[in-house]
Chain A
Amino acid sequence: MAIDGRAHRFGRDIDTDAIIAARYLNTSDSAELAKHCMEDIDEDFVNRAKKGDIIVADENFGCGSSREHAPICIKALGIDAVIAKSFARIFYRNCINIGLPILECPEAVDAISDGDEVEVDTASGVITNKTTGRTFQAEPFPEFINQIIEAGGLVNRTKKILEAM
């Protein structure tokens, strides 16, 4: 899948309370959750974010809670991928499971500024900063995780397994 959008640059340790505050967890409606994405650390983010944009962050993105509401609200807002130096582990697997493309690539993060136009080829892991012309290679996914991604998420993969039983 080819993704092309503007980068929204965030720092390190962006926690899941920052991504979606717990006061909104009394619903699991994705459109409602999307309205409050990053609200407590960047109130205007939901207004600036355009469909197809990309979040670019430093280390430990998504730390804290296991709330799947966090990747759900990012996806529902129209963000097509998150590139970070590293991801917190529960957030990482939640993204894989629900089909929000994530890429680990410290070099790319250091070379992307807020507002840069970035192209991502999720299949190859190649990240291109079209504003600067520089290209980067993200960490490849292990084969097992690729199977989940290629199946379109964990629900589809589980369906296939259950059907084969």
Chain B
Amino acid sequence: MTRSMTIAEKILCAHSGREELSPGQLVECNVDIVLANDVTAPIAIKEFNKLNWGKVFDKDKIVLVGDHYCPNKDIKSAIQAKAMREFAREYSISHYFDVGRAGVEHALLPERGIVGAGDLVIGGDSHTCTYGALGALSTGMGSTDVGMAYATGKAWFKVPSTIKVVLNGELPENVYAKDIMLHLIGMIGVDGALYQALEFYGPVAPELEVEDRMTISNMAIECGAKAGIFPADDKTLAYLDGRFEREPKVYTADEGAEYSRVVEINCSELKPTVSLPHLPSNTRNAEDCKDIKIDQSVIGSCTNGHIEDFRIAARILKGHKVNPNVRCIVIPATQKIFQQCIDEGLTDIFVDAECAVSTPTCGPCLGGYMGVLAPGERAIATTNRNFIGRMGDKASEVILASPATAAASAILGRVGTPDESIRGKHHGD
């Protein structure tokens, strides 16, 4: 009789040939997918080349996405993207995504069916934890881990203990997955789940759409977690059906699985939430921040760049103009989502509202380009981090919010809530 295990423990067992594992154990595992982007891949390739090994473990399990500084913002970033492109060609990497075919990696991989339930995924990007939404154990690692996995297909893991997050109640109007996650990070802190995994349960979890779950899993790293896992259910399997390249494997936690902590959230009591500078844990209700003016609103990123995010933003922006003191930048996360925005008329709404609509890129989220802030400027953003200097100068500020809150704030010129009745000279219909 093996011990009762969590989902993270079971996935690590399945990938290491063990019958059972306990938190704290170190174990070497075979991984299903090894991801990197134009910032982390060049170092991974450099380290891989030091091995003089000359072959990759599996050309179909390595994924390379140009998203951080692609389309290239300058010569240096073009050189990095070129190094990644040449490696992809040399080793016939099947999942190589370049400009025009790519998108923000953590929206792209699920969309393309490259990751799915039961997978063990490592990625040279901290938001690799996004695929926990699909019932996978996926986690960010550095470039050296990635480069070594190019040769071996393996990585070392410390078996994490798991925090059970129970989402009770029901989501009120204008409150979204992003608000839940910001609230959780505010509750437990930016290292509240350090070295641990999160598992999400409670009546709200199965109600959330798969993309909403991605928003939550994406930000697991912002409370220090190694992974943020939703047990795969019918919604997961319906999402994976016809797109996932392998057979989904559904792992459920055993009755009696050990959790280091149980955190309960009554979602019925949640309000639109923002994280004020300079930590994601610095949360407030948006309604208490209405005196905070903004210069920019960014809607997009691996956290909130899915089609539903733009539908929500468009519903709020329709018939309005972005406040004259605000630049609103809208970035669909993938080419497909970009196309959907056009097909559904969302792009028209954004352009009519005087938003700038960009081709997919991580761009402003990390202060790369496409909306970098000057000293003293402040952005509200649907992104995931608001550290000092994150979106530009060290004297600029970022406030994290849901797409609804970011869109409402873009119209108001200050932090606002989605339900604020917007009347005035810019009011349209």
Contacts and interface: CB of A to CB of B under 8 A. Distances in A.
A71 B144 CA distance: 12
A155 interface: yes
A18 B389 contact: yes
Contacts of A128: none
A88 to B, nearest CB: 6
A88 B367 contact: no
B181 to A, nearest CB: 16
A97 B144 contact: yes
B379 to A, nearest CB: 15
A154 B148 contact: yes
B41 to A, nearest CB: 10
Nearest to A98: B144
B368 to A, nearest CB: 6
Contacts of B39: 25-26, 67, 69
A146 B389 CA distance: 35
Interface string A56-88: 000110011111110110000000000000101
B50 interface: yes
A158 B194 contact: no
Nearest to A162: B53
Contact of B385 (A17, A59, A68, A71): A17
B388 A40 contact: yes
A155 B367 contact: no
Interface residues of B, number: 52
B43 A28 contact: yes
Given A59-B191, A97-B145, A145-B26, A158 B388 contact: no
B224 A94 contact: no
Interface in B118-149: 123-126, 128, 140-145, 147-148
A35 interface: no
A68 B143 contact: yes
B140 A66 contact: yes
A86 B194 contact: yes
A94 B142 contact: yes
Given A21-B389, A59-B191, A88-B191, A158 B51 contact: yes
B349 to A, nearest CB: 30
A99 to B, nearest CB: 10
A60 B142 contact: no
B390 A162 contact: no
Contacts of B394: 21, 39-41
Interface string B186-199: 00001100110000
B191 A64 contact: no
Nearest to B369: A23
Interface in A29-50: 39-41
Contacts, number: 143
Contacts of A25: 39, 68-69, 366, 368
B14 interface: no
Interface range, A side: 35 or more
B385 A64 contact: yes
B190 A26 contact: no
Interface stretch (B73-81, B316-324, B419-427): B73-81
Contact of B144 (A26, A142, A154, A159): A154
Interface in B127-185: 128, 140-145, 147-148, 151-152, 156, 158
Contact of A28 (B46, B151, B194, B390): B46
A130 interface: no
B141 A93 contact: yes
Contact of A60 (B26, B69, B190): B190
A41 B389 CA distance: 9
Contacts of B143: 68
Contacts of A121: none
A162 B142 contact: no
25 contacts: A13-B190, A13-B191, A17-B367, A17-B390, A18-B389, A21-B389, A22-B367, A26-B73, A28-B46, A60-B191, A60-B194, A64-B387, A66-B123, A66-B141, A67-B39, A72-B43, A89-B158, A89-B195, A89-B224, A90-B142, A94-B142, A142-B26, A145-B26, A159-B51, A162-B151
Given A66-B123, A68-B144, A86-B191, 5 more contacts: A21-B394, A59-B191, A60-B194, A64-B387, A98-B144
Interface of A: 13, 15, 17-18, 21-23, 25-28, 39-41, 59-60, 63-69, 71-72, 86, 88-90, 93-94, 97-98, 142, 144-145, 148, 153-155, 158-159, 161-162
